Amino acid sequence: MKKLLTVLFVAVGILLAYPVISQTNAKLGYIDSNELLDAMPEKDSIQQTLIQYGKALEDQLQAMYLEYQTKLNDYQVNAASMSDIIRQTKEKELADMENRIQEFQQQADTDLQNKQMELLDPVLKKVRQAIQDVARENGYTYIFDAGVGTLLYYEKGDNILPLVKVKLGI
């Protein structure tokens, strides 16, 4: 839905700007940002860091789950011989552990996403700057990103990916 709205707004913007663009001889270019990010030398180290970070979170989650399983098995084996107060305490402890595991899993997902953004942010800034530099140096009025679906028409546009790669030294 958001992509559809984005495409719609871009289309309306282009249609509204068409008279101005056609009079000013706008130079249009496009780039596939996904292809560019795949070519970045930092990509492999970022992926390895994210894999290691995710593995550490997964290991911690597995340790929590193993502890929960151990306590659950102990409870199931000994529940019949426990007094009511001990049984209720163990049941509450197990329920609390389940909640902690679920909360940890949710927080781990959020932390992994935050780590990804933390690692990608410098690369994205570098890419944005290179795209802006190439656009200015080559007189482009508009650059569309084919990688995220905001490209509507590019038959007469120029793919600036090779120029941006040269600018970035890749």
For the segment 79-123, what is each residue's pLDDT rounded down to a tens digit? 999 999 999 999 999 999 999 999 999 999 999 999 999 999 999
Long-range Cβ contacts of 49-56 (<8 Å, 24+ apart) = 49/115, 49/119, 50/112, 50/115, 50/116, 50/119, 53/112, 53/115, 54/112
Please, are residues 71 and 97 in contact by the beta-carbon 8 Å criterion? Answer: yes
Taking the alpha carbons at both ends of the chain, their separation in whole angstroms is 35
Please, are residues 124 and 148 in contact by the beta-carbon 8 Å criterion? Answer: no
Residue 9 has pLDDT above 70, yes or no: no
Provide the residue range defining the domain that includes 92.
2-168
Q: How many domains does the chain fold into?
A: 1
How would you class 31 by CB atoms within 10 Å of its CB: exposed for 0-12, middle for 13-18, buried for 19 or more?
buried
**pTM higher than 0.75 for the full model?**
no
Please tell me what DSSP assigns to residue 32.
-
pLDDT of residue 161: 85
Residue type, 135: A
Exposed e or buried b per residue across 67-84, where buried means at least 16 C-beta atoms within 10 angstroms of its C-beta: ebeeeeeebeeeeeeeee
What percent of the chain stands above pLDDT 70? 81
Output phi, psi for 115, to 5 deg: -65, -40
Cα torsion through 144, 146, 148, 153, rounded to 10: 70
Exposed e or buried b per residue across 129-151, where buried means at least 16 C-beta atoms within 10 angstroms of its C-beta: ebbeebbeeeebeebbebbeebb
- Please give the residue that has the higher pLDDT: either 167 or 102: 102
Task: Write the pLDDT tens digit of every residue in 138-153.
Answer: 988 888 888 776 753 4
